[in-house]
Amino acid sequence: MRKLYAKISGQWSIPLTNFRLAGLVLVAFFASAGYAVGHPGVGSDPMSILSDAITVSGRVVDDTGSPMPGVNVVIRGTTVGTTTDIDGRYSISVEDGNAVLVFSFIGYETQEVTVGSQTVIDITLVTDIKTLSEVVVVGYGTQKRTSVTGAIASVNSKELSALPTVSVDQALQGRAPGVTVVNNGAPGSSPSVRIRGVSTINNANPLYVVDGVPVGNDANVDPKDIQSMEVLKDAYAAAIYGSRAANGVIMITTKSGTQEKVNVNIDSYVGVQSPWKKLDLLNRDQYIQYAGMLGGLPPRVQNGMNEPIYPGATQTFAQTETDWQDEMFRNATIQQHRFEVSKGGEVSKVYFSGGYFDQGGIMLGTYFKRGNIRLNSEHKVGKRLTIGQTAYVYYDRRRNETNGGSIGSNIRYVIASIPYLPVYNPFNKGGFFGPQGVDASDPTQPVRRATLVENYSNGNGVLATGYADLKIFDWLSYRFTAGVNIANGFNSNYTPAFDSGPGGYDTNPEATISQTRSLAVDPIFTNQLTFDKTFGDHSVNVVLVAEQQSGKYSDATASGRNAITDAIKMPRGVANPQVNAGIQEWAQISYASRLNYEYKGKYLFGASFRRDGSSRFAKENRWGNFPAFSAGWRISEENFMSDLSETITELKIRGSWGVAGNNQLGNYSYQATLANDKYYQFNKNSTDFTQGYTISGMANRDLRWEEVEMLNIGIDGGLFGNKVNFSVEWFSNTTDGMIINLPIPGSLGYDGAPQANAGSARNRGFEWQLGYSSQEGEFRWNASANMGIVRNEVLSLGGEGLSYQNENWYGDNLTYTIAGEPMAFFYGYQVEKIFQSQEEIDAANAIDGDPSTKYQDNAAPGDIKFRDLDGDGVITPDDKTKIGKYIPDFTYGINFSGNWKNFDFGVFFQGVQGNQIYSTTKYHLEGMTRLFNAGTAVLNSWTTPGQNTNVPRAVSGDPNLNSRASDRFVEDGSYLRLKNLSIGYAIPSEVLQSVTNNSISRLRVYFSATNLLTWTKYKSGYDPEIGAFNGRGAGGSFQNGIDYGQYPQPRTITVGVQLGL
Amino acid sequence: MRIKNILAKGCLVGFSLMWGCNEDILEKVNPNDLSTSIYYLNEAELVTGVNSVYAAWQGLDLYAREFFFLHDLRGDDMQPGGEQLELQRRQLIEGTHDSSNPVMTSAWNGLYRVIHRANIVIESASRPDVDATDAAKNRVAGEAKFHRGWAYFELVSMWGGVPLYTAYATSPADNKSRASVDEVYAVIISDLTDAINYLPSSYDDANLGRATSHAARAMLARVHMQRGNYSEARTLLRDIVSSNQFKLVDRYLDNFEEENEFNEESLFEVAFSSSFGGLGWNPSGDGTSMEVTIRGQEYGPNAWRNLIPSNGLIAEFEDDDPRFGDSFYQIGDTYNNGTEVITEMQNADPKISWRKYQMIYKQPSEDQRSGINFRVIRYAEVLLALAECENELDNGQEAINLLNEVRDRASVQMPHYPTPEYPVSSKAEIFRAIVHEKRVELGGEQIRNRDILRWRAQGKLLEEPFSYFQAKHALLPIPLPELDNNTSLTNADQNPGY
């Protein structure tokens, strides 16, 4: 099969003139062709008036209390009916009390009510998640859920807006099976998102498509603007975005106007975020005790504790006890305020929204703010022409955590900071106390760093599209879309001068200043023809697409130092001004086609083919071909199933095969260039430098598309009238030609390893989703659960014995990547026991028959005995082994929600199972390599033979390397989290009307708690959710699951109000 | 129908246009960096090539950090200043390192980075189409060969036979297996001989710091001495002396401070400058943030104090040798231009710390940006090396004269040999005096490690300085990442004992 499509690689395209122009001209042509502008049909709603009738009236509202116009109210068994008016009111005459009224509205669960003796029947219609998703958004079109043959998970707007989150990916956590979202901590930081495992060492982030525009690895969208989100997981679903679909595709569709009437919604919440865990650190007296255990008291403790903390202070060090956790963590506010104005109708639909989001950080020196506006509109310009646009404008500002989640993280220094030292010293430059020589310990002062170092990321931009949709015939339409994604960045990093007094560590003699301004402009032009026709039992849908996307990124960094003043934070008037600027460009041309064929609505077949050319590859390797096929069988539609239709409402089996690609690598990776930043001073005073050029990166012109071959089998079903619905998937994805930085030996002398299509990896797994909905009187509820199981295995790294060892931690590489194992598993020694006596050490030394060859150099009673896996009687690197993995066995989510009268509630659990965390936090808490503050566990360190402890002896310098990379620092990372709990109450409309004199149609107040409870065995860090600190970048795959002092997720309590006018 | 006609036509036009994207937009040339195919075509470009070789020595892998650590940890001039010395460094000073030791791996990578960059220059300079005079080509290639020879000398003296590259690799498959020690030395001797022949003996101010023929002579003398060829070494060293280009500066400390770089005593330095900002923590010396070394912060008496002078070195000094106070800070010494007094030093005893290469002589505290050039080769070493050669070649009196010349420095003025402590009446006694003089004169200057290796190999070591020493410690292990990723090497190629 693969050979077959590989042959289809000739030049398909006829190079013509600029094709954007072509599309525009075409649209203009049709637009000016003078199609009659038709008036929208005004439907008449004949109301049957019968004699002897009972008139029943009432009001229909939705589950948020909002009046619902246009709801069909029909008397069962007849064609008699009416629709609700703009206020959701209706009135209908029925023959007698036996009549049953049926209330229905698309997207809501149909309700039936027997009239009986009632004359007023008020109804609350509940969103029907199942029917809402009856139409799913697929690439370049939509499809009925029942016809879908690919693996697509849908997440609705209600789920997406349940959490107080800033980004869509955070909202996605636990909502779709097979989608793993790991938060990365500080406000505004992007989480790591992986769909169906980790397909590549390279960039494994999914592709985000917002309103048809592929925007890359991150979607800047207000989650509350989203109408629906689809996760395309298998080849057939994703292959239409073939070129960049290897890691899955997340499609986002933003809202449009729905209701005829102008609808104004205001949605506001405020809340407080708080840290929810504190580590057990040594207090002052314990610290001094521990310093004594470790090898001697620092000079200050010996004879300086009664000195004032600074000249003139009344407080002495002996009277000081600083809780550095309390100093660094705090409660912080979170708030979002939004309005939406929308109007639907036959001619024009408009949706306009604006919002402001502001999240403080629970750790000092962090926050995120964003303001955003969206305008979406669509207009029928004639019977056949529809034009529309989307536009999103945002401005955001983030204060970043310095060294967030990396080796020198704040949390590391919160642990390490000395309790008898104060936070401030007004006599020091900068105003902070810093450790001094007499403390014999030099942790970076975390409060000073968090306060003085100002690291800001500011962004603003526009994502806008315009489109024209021309219905050439009823069965053929042409669509032209032009879009642009513009992002401005302005990042600044400023550190004023500070010092720690005489003999103090960590000084910054002069202010350091750096600013980076960047601009990215990515336009896209799409031409699309859609053929859609049913001939008798045959339904055919064909899509043809030609698309061109390009991008230009430019940036300039200016930096310098200022020894004169701290007041100027600009790189202006600085001592060595430096500038660095550059431009990067990329482009891609894509031709895509898809055929969907349906026979009798039960036999489904699909085929797609996409061909992409990318500027990131050399001419001869530029084009990639991405085919996919799928088939489905709706068993429930077969005659032989008709007896079971009461039970099995819907049953479909489907399968797909296809290939998707990945070109997420550097824009010019294949081009060999010189590095020009090698400077040296050839003069006496060394105040000027000379430039050096060399070849420091190895280029590879043979780079080609990375490909993932995807196989998927799925079963979808609905039972008992779709009260129960389920979906099960099995998949196997094999990455071939994985673009990796070849591990090259140091002796080649290159700094940059060449990229090559060298490795392969496989992800296999199961996913399932189960839902149940119930209605008993006024109590309606539904429950759903999903789970994704994935097994990751690196099949090859391109050569025998090649490996990656990454994340150097004091001489040990914590992660190891090698064929036959999951990507970047944890690697180290296994702890066997603690040596209780010299006899035990002697015995170990003699294992190999020669007592003079040491089992472990420098071992003494109280040290850890590591396991001699190769049995040679000596602990060597050959005794290292796999000691854990960051990829969980499975991830899951459980959701309950319901309504009772005017109350609504939601409970959402999310969890991961079977992963491990390498805790460098534990290293700082218990490693005892040198004097810093530590966890209380060190007080239980080994002192006497026979002592029952797993903490080795406290010894300065750790001669036995008790703190080497070992399973001592590996902990179970599984957790289950009560991610969200919410309760809402809609003020009854009657009350609202009378109190507000009809000016407010809807008012719902709610309470929501996020991250309320977390069950985990992970003890040594603040939070078991450990992302990768540069989660978005290539290389992120090596860094996951190592807790470098990860910024913890806050517990958030919010109260909110939703108001409809 | 007319409309249908228009529709049909429009449809046709639109459809055909859809398939016509202009593929030229897929051709994007990197606008930021020069293509390798259009460079090293003239003298100026060749010079930038060799500049990058010098810059490589500034990287964190080499003189900014790991190179001086590796030498200092393998010599006996230093001991840990306390428990803050990181594990990977402690392993080396205690002899418990294995092939995964990252300090050693960094230095290995750094040295090969020098070799790679030098190979590019040497190869480019040999191309006939380069627009430069032969003299210019030879000079640039000579500089590159000085660096390549030096780097291989570091490698072969610490690791034994190593992969030998005399052309730069263009594909991962170009990796090499271990060459023999003799093969590596052959390249080193050839390179340094070429450097002697093609390099000038001095430069104008704008080129100060480039390798000279004298630097190459001194380096080649080191090489010959390491191989036991004292006669060849003596010839080279005598040439340096007889050039009368160099002399001992009056003030010993002028060799370790920022103000007196490239003085008359200096044969070769690795340049640093604090004028361009802080340390960029970059292994390869890229950018303007790698123009400083962290040595001040690592060793400073009120900084990290990771390594301090060893008790052995402290004991080595004769009473009243002024070089003791010039080499070390003690409690009560002043610093910051005499305005502050050292009252305390953290952690381990003795409360003595390095003064050589520390910045606090003129500033209140150390930070990560020392701009003091490393004096790689200075004239005192030339004299002392020559003394050793003369003694080895049974010219004892000349050796004693040279030793005394070093002790005659204006700021030193130590009594001439023989002294009661160091009689010089026999070859062995003179050798003992040379060992002593070299140790106190050149302490902490990355000389001692190689001396120990040489004397041990030649059976001259007066006593084994390391209690941990086993046969395997004569060589460092081939770094594990090299063994893993060099397809020409297997575990069988590892040095014995690792």
Nearest to B112 among A502, A622, A749 (CB): A749
Inter-chain residue contact B120 with A615, CB threshold 8 Å: no
Q: Is the pTM of this model over 0.80?
A: yes
- Average pLDDT, stretch A575-596? 92
**Can you give the pLDDT at residue B158?**
97
> Is A299 within 8 Å of chain B by CB?
yes
Q: Is the pLDDT confidence value at A771 over 50?
A: yes
Task: Return the pLDDT at A296.
Answer: 81
pLDDT digits (tens, 9 = 90+) for A684-698: 766 778 899 999 888
Say yes or no to pLDDT of B171 above 60. Answer: yes
If you average pLDDT over each of A277-286, A438-447, A644-653, A678-687, which comes out highest? A277-286
Local confidence band at B30 (pLDDT 50, 70, 90 cut-offs): very high
CB contact at 8 A, A594 and A611: no
User: Can you read off the two tokens belonging to residue A878?
Assistant: 């050959």
Three-state secondary structure call for residue A248: coil
At residue A1036 the predicted structure's pLDDT band, cuts being 50, 70 and 90, is: low
Residue among A31, A228, A259, A244 at smallest CA distance from A133: A228
Residue-wise pLDDT tens digits, A784-827 = 999 999 999 999 887 777 788 888 888 788 999 889 999 889 99
Identify which has the larger pLDDT, B206 or A4. B206
Q: What percent of chain A has pLDDT over 70?
A: 93
What's the pLDDT at B84? 74
* Interchain pair A693, B51: CB under 8 A: yes
Q: Do A678 and B285 touch (CB under 8 A)?
A: yes
Q: How far is B49 from chain A (nearest CA, A)?
A: 5
Task: State the DSSP string of A894-906.
Answer: EEEEEEETTEEEE
Q: Are A1031 and A1005 in contact (CB under 8 A)?
A: no
From B88's Cα to the closest Cα of chain A, the distance in A is 6
Please indicate if any CB of chain B lies within 8 Å of the CB of A693. yes
Residue A19 has its nearest CB partner, among B21, B80, B479, at: B21
- The string of DSSP letters for B373-441 reads PEEEEEHHHHHHHHHHHHHHTT-HHHHHHHHHHHHT-TTT-PPPSP-SSS--SSHHHHHHHHHHHHHHH
Q: For A992-1009, what is the mean pLDDT?
A: 85
- How far off is chain A from B205, nearest CA to CA, in Å? 6
3 state SS of A40: coil
Residues in chain A with CB shorter than 8 Å from the CB of B51 are 678-680, 682, 690-693
Q: Assign 3-class secondary structure to A341-367.
A: EEECCCCEEEEEEEEEEEEECCECCCE
Query: How does pLDDT run across A682-737, given as a tens digit for each residue?
Result: 977 667 788 999 998 888 889 999 999 999 999 999 898 888 999 999 999 999 99
In this predicted model, what pLDDT tens digit does every residue of A205-237 receive, in sequence order?
A: 888 999 988 888 778 889 899 988 899 888 877
Query: What pLDDT does A52 receive?
Result: 60
How many angstroms separate the CA atoms of A853 and A871, rounded?
A: 14
The better pLDDT of the pair A16, A885 is held by: A885
Residue of A nearest to B261 (CA): A684
Q: Which chain B residues are within 8 Å of A472, Cβ to Cβ?
A: 7, 10-11
Say yes or no for a CB contact (<8 Å) between B19 and A591. Answer: yes
The answer on pLDDT for A1002 being more than 60 is: yes
Distance from CA of A136 to the nearest CA of B (A): 26
Residue found by looking up tokens 């627009």 in the block = B131
- Tell me the chain A residues in contact with residue B304 when contact means C-beta distances shorter than 8 Å: 442, 505
Nearest chain B Cα distance for residue A682, angstroms: 5
Here the tokens at position A169 are 């990916």
Whether A946 contacts chain B with CB within 8 A: no
Give the per-residue pLDDT at B2: 53
Say if B462 is an interface residue toward chain A (CB within 8 Å): no
Cβ contacts of B205 on chain A, cutoff 8 Å: 683-684
Two structure tokens written together for B75? 């010599």
Instruction: Read off the pLDDT band of A125 (50, 70, 90).
Output: confident
**Model confidence band, residue A669 (pLDDT cutoffs 50, 70, 90):** confident
Cβ contacts of A574 on chain B, cutoff 8 Å: none
Contacts of residue B346 in chain A, CB cutoff 8 Å? 298-299, 437-441
The residue of chain A nearest to residue B285, with distances taken between CA atoms, is A678
Subunit contact B481:A619, Cβ cutoff 8 A: no
Give the model confidence (pLDDT) of A831-848 as tens digits. 999 999 999 999 999 998
| Residue A376 confidence class, pLDDT cut points 50, 70, 90 | very high
Contacts of A438 in chain B (CB under 8 A): 344, 346
- Which residues in chain B (145-184) have CB-CB distances under 8 A to chain A? 162-163, 165, 168-172, 174-176
Give yes or no for residue A550 having a pLDDT over 50.
Answer: yes
Check CB contact of A929 with chain B, cutoff 8 Å: yes
- Between positions 812 and 831 of A, the ones with CB within 8 A of B are 812-813
Q: Of the given ranges (A84-98, A123-137, A742-756), which has the lowest mean pLDDT?
A: A123-137
CB of B26 within 8 Å of a chain A CB? The answer is: yes
At A635, the pLDDT band (50, 70, 90 cuts) reads very high
Flag whether pLDDT at A374 surpasses 90. Answer: yes
> Considering only A269-278, A1008-1017, B277-286, which range has the smallest mean pLDDT?
B277-286
Q: What's the full length of chain A, in residues?
A: 1061
- Structure confidence at residue A128 (pLDDT): 63
Residue to test with chain A: of B2, B11, B15, B21, most A Cβ within 10 A: B21
pLDDT higher than 70, residue B18 = no
Q: Do the chains contact at B277 and A509, CB–CB below 8 Å? A: no
Spatial distance between the Cα atoms of B146 and B135, rounded to a whole number of angstroms? 16
For A109, phi then psi, to 5°, come to -70, 130
Q: Which of residues 254-313 of B touch A (CB under 8 A)?
A: 261-262, 271-273, 275-278, 283-288, 290-291, 302-304
Judging contacts by C-beta atoms under 8 Å, the chain B residues touching residue A403 are none
Rounded to whole angstroms, how far apart are CA atoms A929 and B89? 13
Peptide bond into B350 cis (omega under 30): yes
Which one of B115, B271, B364 has the shortest CB-CB distance to A681?
B271
Contact B346 A440 (CB under 8 A): yes
- pLDDT, average across residues A152-173: 82
Q: Would the CB atoms of A13 and B484 count as touching at under 8 Å?
A: no
- Per-residue pLDDT, A1012: 94
Reply yes or no on whether the pLDDT at A45 is more than 80: no
Of the partner residues A507, A527, A957, the one whose CB lies closest to the CB of residue B365: A507
Nearest CA in chain B to A858: B96
Distance from CA of B464 to the nearest CA of A (A): 19
Q: Is the pLDDT of residue B250 over 90?
A: yes
Cross-strand partners of A60: A123
B55 in A contact zone (CB under 8 Å) = yes
Nearest to A26 among B14, B26, B480 (CB): B14
A530 Cβ neighbours under 8 A, 6+ residues apart: A140, A141, A476, A477, A478, A479, A541, A542, A543, A544
pLDDT at B221 over 50: yes
| Nearest residue to B216 (alpha-carbon basis) of B186, B245, B237 | B237
The DSSP-derived string for A167-195 is SHHHHHTTTSTTEEEE--SSTTPPPEEEE
Contacts of B286 in chain A (CB under 8 A): 675, 677-678, 696, 751
Res. A477: pLDDT tops 90: yes
Amino acid code (one letter) for A36 = A
Q: What is the mean pLDDT of residues A989-1012?
A: 86
Per-chain mean pLDDT for chain A: 87
List, as ranges, residues 185-214 from B with C-beta within 8 Å of A. 203, 205-210
pLDDT band at B357 (very low <50, low <70, confident <90, very high): very high
pLDDT mean over A594-622: 93
Least confident of A877-881, B50-54, B434-438: A877-881
A54 C-beta neighbours (distance < 10 Å), count = 17
A681–B273 CB contact, under 8 Å:
yes
d(CA A369, CA A335): 10
Q: B51 touching A, CB under 8 A?
A: yes
What confidence score (pLDDT) does residue B196 get? Answer: 98
CB contact under 8 A, B102 and A499: no
Classify each residue of A160-189 as buried b or exposed e, where b means 16 or more C-beta atoms within 10 Å of its C-beta: bbbbbbbbbbbbbbbbbbbbbbbbbbbbbb
Chain B CB contacts of A674 under 8 Å are 33-36, 39
Contact A298 B109 (CB under 8 A): no
Q: Per-residue pLDDT tens for B398-412?
A: 999 999 999 999 999
Do A1054 and A164 contact (CB within 8 A), yes or no?
yes
Min Cα–Cα distance to chain B from A813, Å: 9
Question: Binning pLDDT at 50, 70 and 90, where does residue B20 land?
Answer: low
Q: Tell me the pLDDT tens digit for each residue of B379-393.
A: 999 999 999 999 999
pLDDT at B413 over 80: yes
In this prediction, residues B39-68 reach a mean pLDDT of 95
In chain A, what residues touch B347 (CB-CB under 8 Å)? 440
Beta bridge partners of A124: A61
- Decide: helix, strand or coil at residue A841: helix
